[in-house]
Amino acid sequence: MLNEALSLYEFENPVTEFIRHNENLTYKVTDGEKKYLLRFHKPTENLNMHFFRMGKTVEDLANGEIQIRRFLAKKGNVKAQQAILNKHGNAVSILEDKTIVTVLEWLDGEILVSMPVPDSETAEKIAFEMGIIIGKMHNDFSGLTLNNRYVYDAALLEASIDEMKSFKRGTHDRQINIIIETLKYIRDYFHGAANRLTLTHGDFNKTNIIYNNGSFALIDFSLSGYSLPETDLSMALIHSNDEVLNRKILSGYQSVCKIEIDFHAIEVCHCWNPLLFLVLLSKPSVNEEWIINNQPHWNEKIQNWCDNLFLPLLNGKTRDVCR
């Protein structure tokens, strides 16, 4: 599969290095002095990506992501990798076994999550810049309509409720009931806020931000789709997990973005994001043995979500989204 994919592009002496396998199987390709990112749009068998596609094909979604990258490049406000065309002039390649392949530019720099812990002043500047990036991206995405993207809406939430009714792996009935009630709450909220859905990155965290010489670039738009704008903000706040830095993220966002933040929507998204993770693991191949081996302290993690996120939302207890 790897050699077949490489043969479709104008590489001379490519050397590959495995990076990771989640929603995509990714490799770094070094060809002389040039570097690229090779992606097989083939999720690990434990991720229920088919469920999220809601009838869209992998090829459709790959083309949609390329459109987003080109759109951002045209706008010029947010840096994102661009696609490398294959020998036939196409940005999306199809292998004999129908696996979808794309190749992107390589971005030099350091993944934000791997950077040494900065001093407090630098950390606050970085957090503020993260907010600005999200704000600029949302400004650019405003009004952009694409049919070949994921849609994180009330319909997906309704389907997620049905999925979770059979999800017993490592969880207690009480936890499942809380999760289902929370999904119903979020479904109703998204239904009422349907006019606020906009294109979002969908996986905004420190592993998807490249930092180089004071400049940020976003990577991995694979899960990008239509959702509340607060989805990206929620992910940024959760991964920051620091009250001071979180307030800087929100300040940076508000300094540039035309969208007014709905703070209750952030609370809702704080619950929706971990629930998305649970739905991703709802595939039958994900059994209790896999969970025990790959998700340490699984039951404690779910109980923590129930106690500190889901139940406060259901009981109407407003919390500071920055904490």
Residue 189 · residue 228 · CB < 8 Å: no
Pick the last residue of a domain from 56, 80, 106: 106
- Six-digit token string for 320: 């500071």
Identify the pLDDT of residue 299: 76
Give mean pLDDT, residues 127-131. 93
User: Is 319 inside any structural domain?
Assistant: no
- Axis-axis angle for helices 298-305, 263-280 (nearest 10): 150
Burial (Cβ within 10 Å: 0-12, 13-18, ≥19) of residue 282:
middle
Q: When comparing pLDDT for 119 and 85, which is higher? A: 85
Please give the model's pTM, rounded to 2 decimal places.
0.91
pLDDT attached to residue 111? 87
Q: Are residues 253 and 148 in the same domain?
A: yes
pLDDT tens track for 139-178: 999 979 999 999 999 999 999 998 887 766 566 778 889 9
> Residues 82, 191: one domain?
no
| Residues 22 and 163 both lie in one domain | no
Q: Cβ distance 270 to 234 under 8 Å?
A: yes
Decide if 89 is inside a domain.
yes
Q: What angle do CA 263, 267, 272 make, to 5 degrees?
A: 135
Residue type at 138 in one-letter notation: H
Would you state the pLDDT for residue 75? 93
Question: How much of the chain, in percent, has pLDDT values that exceed 90?
Answer: 66
Same domain for 212 and 78: no
Tell me whether residue 257 is in a domain: yes
Give me the pLDDT at residue 320, please. 77
Dihedral sign for Cα 238, 243, 247, 252, please: negative
Say how many residues make up the chain: 323
Q: Whole-angstrom Cα distance, residue 177 to residue 311? A: 11
What is the pLDDT at residue 101? 98
User: Are 216 and 295 found together in one domain?
Assistant: yes
**Radius of gyration of the chain, Cα coordinates, nearest whole angstrom:** 20
* Spatial CB neighbours of 63, under 8 Å, sequence gap ≥ 6: 91, 92, 148
Q: What is the pLDDT of residues 50-87, one digit of tens each?
A: 888 888 999 999 999 999 999 999 999 998 999 999 99
The C-alpha atoms of residue 305 and residue 175 are separated, in whole angstroms, by: 9
Q: Are residues 76 and 221 in the same domain?
A: no
At 261 the pLDDT is 95
Of 75, 106, 137, which one is at a domain's C-terminal end?
106
Mean pLDDT of all residues in the chain?
A: 90
Reported as a single tens digit per residue, the pLDDT across 224-277 is 999 999 999 999 998 888 899 999 999 999 999 999 999 999 999 999 999 988
**What does the pLDDT read at residue 283?**
63
Containing structural domain, residue 51: 2-106
CATH of the domain at 64: 3.30.200.20
